[in-house]
A and B are shown apart, each in its own frame.
Chain A
Amino acid sequence: MNKHITEILDNTSLANLSENELTEIRAHVVDCASCRKAYEAARMSAAVLKSRTQAVIEPSPFFQTRVMAALREQQAAESVPAMLRLWRSAKAVVATMAVTTAALAVVSFVAPAESTPATDQSASVYSAYSVIMDQPADEQMTYEQVLSTIYEDDDEAR
């Protein structure tokens, strides 16, 4: 019975001590002042802990409504970032499309204007006409000569 009992006190709650353990404690604390103090402190601790766990706060009648309102608020707040995430993922595609559209616009409207002299369709038509009809004065052919030249080529082909 000379063994100090603090180990027993700390090992389990007072409520769960066995009869043997309680007997050992009670016998020891009669002669051991430090263990008597420890046992007293353990009893006080157990009492305050019991009181502490009995101090339970009950939910108010409005608690359920409050939670459901908070849930809807949370869902509404989460829907905005969802749109932002969607925009972020689509941003690259949209940017690519915008650049492509701009490039096409430049090719269609700006580039042709700059290269007009080289690709002037009316000039080309004029040149073709001039090949046949607007030859230098000394080489000019009449309409009939043109026709006969054409038909001669056809006859040769046949």
Chain B
Amino acid sequence: MDLARQAQAGDESAFAEIVRRYSPRVFRVASRFFRQRSLVEEAAQEVFLKAYTQLGSFEGRGSIEGWLTRIATNTCLNMLRSAKRRPEFTVSDLSNDEQNWLEQQSGSDGNEQPSVENSVVATDLADRVLSVLSPEDQQALLMIDGEDASIKEVAEATGWSESKVKVRAFRARRKVREAMEKLLGR
């Protein structure tokens, strides 16, 4: 709170400290939306530039982290909306690694720690099935099913109502499951 007040008064070193302290959080949010480092950094920088110009609107009711999380979420959503449309979901071009990963998973109980290589394959698969969703639905699903966030936490981070978050998550979960069924059934 003190840092925010100092930064509001024009103290640049206080704002630099805010950047240092909260950039891991902002990077975490941006990493949900983008996988390329350059895009994550671009988004994070945009977040802090916006935060600086909107410092006057931070009233100190919530935490700086929560305030920055919301700016980060909205900034990333806007970047995704303005980006070119993703290629449509297809099941015809699964790589051998992806196919192997799916076969391994279907035989396991899901509690084993994946290797780094397997994580990359799983992340690729995630992006493939997530491509059927709007950026907003992706956000809701990744937070709830990926990060175990509560409905309330997602509502706070996005500014949506809790019922809207529930609807988005339900719809996203069903679409992703159906996309995965297609992948498994090919």
Seen from chain A, the residues whose Cβ lies within 8 Å of a Cβ on chain B are 6, 9-11, 13-15, 37-38, 40-60, 63-64, 66-68, 70-71, 74
Contact = CB atoms under 8 A, between A and B. Distances in A.
B44 A63 contact: yes
13 contacts: A6-B174, A11-B173, A15-B145, A40-B106, A42-B177, A49-B126, A49-B145, A49-B176, A52-B142, A59-B26, A59-B44, A64-B20, A67-B45
Main secondary structure of the interface of A (DSSP, over half): helix
A9 B177 contact: yes
Most buried by B among A6, A11, A54, A63: A63
Nearest to A13: B145
B87 to A, nearest CB: 18
A63 B184 contact: no
B155 interface: no
Contact of A60 (B12, B41, B148, B177): B41
A38 B173 CA distance: 11
B7 to A, nearest CB: 11
A46 B145 CA distance: 7
A55 B31 contact: yes
6 A-B pairs with the lowest CB-CB distances in the bound complex, closest first: A53-B146, A51-B122, A52-B126, A48-B126, A41-B180, A41-B181
A51 B145 contact: no
A38 B142 CA distance: 19
Interface of B: 12, 15-16, 19-20, 23-24, 26-28, 30-32, 35, 37, 40-41, 44-45, 48-49, 52, 102, 105-106, 110, 114, 118-119, 122-123, 125-127, 129-130, 141-142, 144-148, 170, 173-174, 176-178, 180-181, 183-185
Contacts, number: 139
B129 A11 contact: no
Nearest to B171: A10
Contacts of B41: 57, 59-60, 63, 66
A74 B118 CA distance: 42
Given A56-B28, A67-B45, A47 B105 contact: yes
A56 to B, nearest CB: 4
B184 A58 contact: no
Nearest to B143: A53
A66 B40 CA distance: 14
B45 A57 contact: no
A33 to B, nearest CB: 11
A43 to B, nearest CB: 6
A131 B67 CA distance: 94
